[in-house]
Structure 1
Amino acid sequence: MPRETDDHDDPTRRTYLRYGAALAGAGLFAGCAGEADPVPEQTETPRTDEPGTTTETTSSGQAREACLFPVGCREFTDPPDSVTTYNMGWADMVVALGHADRLRTNRLTAPTLFYDRFDIDYEAGYPALWQDGGFSKEVFYELDSDLFLLDPNLLEAWDDNWDESDTAEIESTVAPFFGCYNRRIRGEWQLDLGYPEQAPTMLESFDAVGTVFDERARTDAWLELHADLQARIDDRLPADPDPPSIALINGGSAPGDGEFYVLSLADDGYEMKPYRDLGLVDADGFAGIETGQYGLTDYETMLEVDPDLILVHWGITTGSVTFGGDGAFDATQFREQFVDPMASHDVGSQLTAVAEDRVLPGPTAEQGPLVNAFQTELTARLFYPDEFGVLDLDAPLDVPESEQLFDRERVRDILAGDL
């Protein structure tokens, strides 16, 4: 799969004619009119006129339309019996709707940390779309899914050998595409096509996927749960929050080799949603720090900023199947991979965060409504223990019932369709 630290920010300068800005200009977003400001992701229930996404449902078995940037509007009659995703956040949307059994993907390894709590079974042994440095058209045929929940622009941006004709071929002979690469929005191709202004939020995307699956009741239940979760957080956040200065590094960082990949809490995309929803900001000087390719920096530059806390993006999935574990967070493995190398380094040991044992695991970047609910609660406990309770790093998802920010039984009911 593509390296997590690069995210393919430097694609070829291909002109994307089939999707994106050209479609928006052609008026294919009927009901989606309006310019969107690049504002942080919203947590309230999306309105049907939110930029980037519209949904229109009818009774089961009748045609219904779902609209999503950049693919435009699609008409669906029957829910797809099989779907393939590339990003696990979109897979989580399908799982949240109670249809994990319809996924044909190999991208579901990390969320076992969350899914095991609800006895969610899924098959993740399908061949990978990304093979040998590119997307395999043969695998699209082999999977033979009813729908591909991924962004066709992503295929052309990341794979120099994939072009519009390949996308058209798959759509005409296998299944349509319906998705948006909105986990991280900073690639040059995304900027060229207006993603910062038009890409839907995670919840807006989920709203559209709910329409695709004709699951209005389940979708609304999740949106209500998230609105309530955010309201509980807003009610309890300190009036004058004073969180520690934070340096966010990617999970692809290698402290043992002196390599740190800098990220910003302010970046667009659903991967930063838990941080934004809690009003967290980067350490002074860290967001604009001078870095190399993919945000690469070193110990000396880290010491110049000397943050109170170093947060490892994707850290909560250290110990997952992705990292060779059994699916549960492994605090020992996290320390061996990230903390101990810093503590034993001449410069790293001088970092305040290292000296005070404040190198901590952050949320995983991939999250739909189920994973995000857990991660928002986890992040609240990580940064505001006085208000939300102390996070147990040995069991980060174990929260006393009295301190839980959302009802686990309600989640179980939604998954079961008991609404």
Structure 2
Amino acid sequence: MARDVVENDGPTRRDYVKYGGALAVGGAFAGCSDLLGSEQGTANSGQESYTVTMSPVGTVEFDEVPRSIFTRLSHHAGMAFALGRGDDVNALNGPEYYHATWNQFTPRLPGVSLDWSNLYPSWQTSKEKLYDLDSDVHLADPASVVQLEKWSMDDVDEVSEQIAPWFGNSLSARHQEPIDEWDGDYEYYGLWEQFEKVAQVFREEERYEALANIHADVIGTIEDGLPPEVERPSVVLLTAADVEKKIWAYTTGNPGFLTSHIRPLRPHDAFGGSLESGSNVDFEALLEADPDVILFLSGMQPDVSMTELRATLASHPIASEISAVENGRVFPQGARYQGPILNLFQLEMSAKQFYPEQFGEWPISDGGPYPEIPADEQLFDRQEVADIINGAF
């Protein structure tokens, strides 16, 4: 049974001032009873074994730091990447796609590289394949895996006991309920809350702290620069293989880490909560909603032309009347299942796409890679982030 927990997108700069940095190493997370009562992480330094606790897996004991890493969804792979462990990932949902996605951003991080192109595609993973991979940890949500065909609770337990533990949380993406077959409670985490737990698994609390501090500063900068509510745009996220044939629309205010780069900017949902996220819409419905900003998911992909997309919309008799199209505010996005590093970039890009007067204009381009932003208009220091990933901080 799922238990709704108010999701926190991560400590703000004000939180760091208020608590003296305590939030960076354990506290106000879903399921925690007090700010400083975490039994995990640094407190176990120097011990031969250590434990980390997170829903839905509970308390997991590790005899040593895991080396080979199985992931199913890219937010977990992105966490490994942020901790300098990207090359240890052996599986990923859509490896070629997410290899391309992450590598639209890595060119802006000096000395950082990543190759996920030949990993095992793990969306419909099998128990037998997990035996073959023989990973040291499965950064995947067992409550999500048990939804797959041919998986049972017994299979989930067997993998944990015979191969390596599960340690992941995916239903926090949109605060979905686990299926009835899942035997246990479920709690929801923000992206950075979960990232701290994963950092504890790899004994990388210092890396987490360093990145969380940057994230808190970005959130603080955004909060300080937000215009009054009446001046904030209405926004919709779209994706489509062919925008003239079939469009999926995603709401921007729903809870979960899929919108953790948008909610802090507090735009208006173009559909006003009337649309179920992931619904099919047509140009008539978009014109009725009339968003000020259209965000196009996958727009950063190397094989997607934002120039052609904008031209298609502008030449269509109905789509051309949408405010976002009329005013040239159709922008690319990267990934919703984002890890911490993409989250930093996407907070910056969304801030510029929504509020150019406050945060500087987003450069109009044909898509990826992430454009060069003048140093005085960057919301975070690229070299500092690269140093943390590379362990040189």
**TM-score band w.r.t. shorter chain:** 0.7 to 0.9
Match 1:50 to one of 29, 37, 59 = 29
Partners of 2:67 and 2:88 within 8 A in 1:
yes
* 8 Å contact kept, 2:70–2:91: yes
**Alignment size in residue pairs:** 365
Structure 1 residue runs of 4+, over 6 Å off? 190-197
Match of 1:350 among 321, 326, 335: 321
Match of 2:242 among 234, 244, 254: 254
**Cα distance 1:384–1:174, how it changes in 2: closer, same or farther (>3 A)?**
same
1:151 CA drift (Å): 0.2
Query: Structure 1 residue 295 and structure 2 residue 288: aligned?
Result: no
- The aligned residue for residue 318 of structure 1 is 301
CA separation in 2, counterparts of 1:194 and 1:380? Answer: 41
Percent sequence identity is: 29
Change (3 A) 1:64 1:167: same
Partners of 1:190 and 1:196 within 8 A in 2: no
Q: What SS is found at the alignment partner of 1:113? A: coil
Residue 10 of structure 1 corresponds to none
1:239 Cα offset (Å): 4.4
Are the aligned partners of 2:142 and 2:156 in contact in 1 as well (CA < 8 Å)?
Answer: yes
Between the aligned partners of 1:204 and 1:268, the Cα distance in structure 2 is 14
1:141 aligns with 2:134: no
* Runs of 5+ unmatched residues, structure 2: 13-22, 33-37
Return the letter of the residue paired with 2:108: R
Which residue number in structure 2 is paired with residue 175 of structure 1? 164
**TM-score normalized by the length of structure 2:** 0.84
How does 1:63-78 map onto structure 2 within 5 Å? 63-78=49-64
Which residue number corresponds to residue 113 of structure 1?
104
Contact 1:38 1:197 in 2 (8 A): no
**Structural RMSD (CA):** 2.8
Structure 2 residue aligned with 1:17: none
Distance 1:194 1:42 in 2: 29
Query: How far apart in 2 are the matches of 1:313 and 1:195?
Result: 34
2:290 aligned with 1:306: yes
Evaluate the alpha carbon distance shift between residue 227 and residue 180 of structure 1 in structure 2; reply closer, same or farther with a 3 A threshold: same
Question: In the TM superposition, what are the counterparts of 1:5-404 in structure 2 within 5 Å?
Answer: 37-44=5-12, 45=23, 47-52=26-31, 54=38, 55-57=40-42, 58-60=44-46, 62-106=48-92, 107=95, 108-109=98-99, 110-118=101-109, 119-130=112-123, 134-157=124-147, 159-182=148-171, 184-189=173-178, 198-240=187-229, 242-249=231-238, 251-252=239-240, 254-257=242-245, 259-283=246-270, 285-289=271-275, 294-315=278-299, 317-319=300-302, 325=303, 333-336=305-308, 338-394=309-365, 396-404=370-378
**Structure 1 residues 43, 124: closer, same or farther in 2, change over 3 A?**
farther
Is the contact made by 2:172 and 2:188 (CA closer than 8 Å) also made in structure 1? Answer: no
Secondary structure at the aligned position of 1:67 is classed as: strand
CA-CA distance at 1:50 after TM superposition: 1.9
- How far does residue 71 in structure 1 lie from its aligned partner after superposition? 0.7
Give me the whole-angstrom Cα distance separating, in 2, the residues matched to 1:112 and 1:300: 35
CA distance in 2 between counterparts of 1:139 and 1:182 reads 23
Helix, strand or coil at the partner of 1:256: coil
Alpha-carbon distance between aligned partners in 1 of 2:114 and 2:380, rounded to the nearest angstrom: 22
Change (3 A) 1:193 1:244: farther
CA distance in 1, matches of 2:159, 2:391: 33
The normalised TM-score by structure 1 is: 0.79
Deviation (angstroms), 1:186:
4.8
Contact 1:196 1:268 in 2 (8 A): no
Residue 244 of structure 2 aligns to a residue in which SS? helix
